[in-house]
Amino acid sequence: MRVVHLHRIRGIGGSERHLLTLLPALSSHGVEPVFLGLDDPGWAVEPFYRALEAESVRLPCPRDIDPVLLRRVRQELVRLRPDVVHTHLVHGDVYGTLGAGGVPVVSTKHNDDPFRRGLFRHVERLLTRRAKRVIAISAALRRYCIDEVGLPAGKIDVVHYGLDALPAPWGESAEPAVPDDARILLCVSRLAEQKGVDVAVRALTRVREVEPRAVLVVLGEGPERPRLAADGVFLPGRVGDVASWYHRAELLVHPARWEGFGLALLEAMLAAKPVVATRVSAAPEIVVDGETGLLVPPDDAAAVADAVLGLLADPARAAAMGEAGLARARHEFSVEKMAERTAAVYASASAER
């Protein structure tokens, strides 16, 4: 079965990393994956293609709405002759669904962004009428698609992200001058309001009153950077070796306000690190509260600080949570399970053709 994936590329975020993992894994399930990339020339897209282990076709996508691009997508899909077209996020959904002709479409929903409750929900409903199946990356996101966006429940399958290992190093990057004796709280996230990094920064102030060696290292870029600068906060941006920071950290702080899945949660578990996360969206499906980490209310810096201090004060408990998280990640969120379930969705979509 030949499956063409469409996605607009603007660097490597959660959905892009998902594709880098999923596409090569599908090959062992009778799927020949091809990636049709809609490249935003204003962003660094080359690292994604260097890491991609699949045939790829690239089209420039400098604008959100482009009739010329739609025609080119149609032409490429005719040439590639897929059995299924698999779309990802807004641009993939629009161009892939409108350009697929009579080919079955599968659409993956990667997030529960509030804009999907607005006027765009009407567009999304129309596009979903054309899709054979919809994949939600968590049960929470499936409920959101049904209750908030109005998508038909009968079309939506849940396929969690899968991961077997931490990201491989991709290059050199400047190292922040973190003190040798620092107790590192790690946050791996875009610097955007959605991710709640500002909550972690406020929590750090209280944490440092009790444990002055605590620092917050935030790996990521985004528009919130200027207002996140504070004593004890390090913002190195994108780093070449994320895995090394997971190993150096004592725990992961993930105070997101909403989150389709939260790949950083799974990465921390694979690094055998406990997690302090907000009880929103998919987090309770990934983190078992009190067993692999601690869940706290959103926008509650005091609760984040209390959870962090509790783990810093009890290294044995933190280590036990980390080991439990590692076992859970390996058993529940493997790449093999993700690929197997995705291939089953393709078979279902193709059978409905």
pLDDT tens-place string over residues 111-146 = 998 889 999 999 999 999 999 999 999 999 999 999
Distances (CA, A) of 233 to 11, 113, 205, 296: 24, 27, 10, 21
Q: How many domains is the chain built from?
A: 2
Contacting residues for 98 by C-beta, under 8 A, at least 6 apart: 70, 73
Q: What is the CATH number of the domain that holds 13?
A: 3.40.50.2000
**Exposure string (b/e) for 240-271, b if CB count within 10 Å is 16 or more?**
ebbbebbeebbbbbbbbbbbbbbbbbbbbbbb
State pTM to two decimals.
Answer: 0.92
Residue 227 lies inside a defined structural domain of this protein: yes
Per the prediction, the chain carries an average pLDDT of 95
339 shares its domain with 302: no
Residue 81, phi then psi, degrees to nearest 5: 50, 60
233 shares its domain with 302: yes
CA 220 to chain CA mean position, Å = 13
| pLDDT above 90 (res 343) | yes
Residue-number span of the structural domain to which 261 is assigned: 183-332
Question: How far is the C-alpha of 290 from the C-alpha of 84, rounded, in Å?
Answer: 42
Residue 176 lies inside a defined structural domain of this protein: no
149 shares its domain with 35: yes
Q: What is the mean pLDDT of residues 282-291?
A: 97
149 shares its domain with 28: yes
Rg (CA), the chain: 20
Residue 98, phi then psi, degrees to nearest 5: -75, -25
| pLDDT above 90 (res 251) | yes
65 shares its domain with 194: no
35 shares its domain with 119: yes
- Which amino acid appears at position 151 of this protein? L
36 shares its domain with 80: yes
Residue 86 lies inside a defined structural domain of this protein: yes
The H or E element spanning position 93 is helix 89-99
At 90-117, the pLDDT tens digits run: 999 999 999 999 999 999 999 998 889 9
- Nearest Cα neighbor of 120 from 155, 100, 95, 148 is 148
Question: How far is the C-alpha of 278 from the C-alpha of 143, rounded, in Å?
Answer: 18
- Report the percentage of the chain scoring pLDDT > 90: 91
**Strand pairing category for 275-278 and 293-296:** parallel
> How confident is the model at residue 6, as a pLDDT?
98
262 shares its domain with 156: no
131 shares its domain with 195: no
Question: How far is the C-alpha of 233 from the C-alpha of 252, rounded, in Å?
Answer: 14
302 shares its domain with 340: no
**In contact, 342 and 329? CB cutoff 8 Å:** no
> How confident is the model at residue 229, as a pLDDT?
93
Residue 173 lies inside a defined structural domain of this protein: no
215 shares its domain with 323: yes
Sign of the alpha-carbon dihedral angle for 271, 220, 23, 150: positive
187 shares its domain with 144: no
Exposure of 168 in the CB half-sphere (CA atoms within 13 A)? 8
> How confident is the model at residue 175, as a pLDDT?
78
Residue 103 lies inside a defined structural domain of this protein: yes
pLDDT confidence of 197, banded at 50, 70, 90? very high
Helix, strand or coil, per DSSP, at residue 212: coil
pLDDT confidence of 353, banded at 50, 70, 90? low
- Which amino acid appears at position 259 of this protein? E
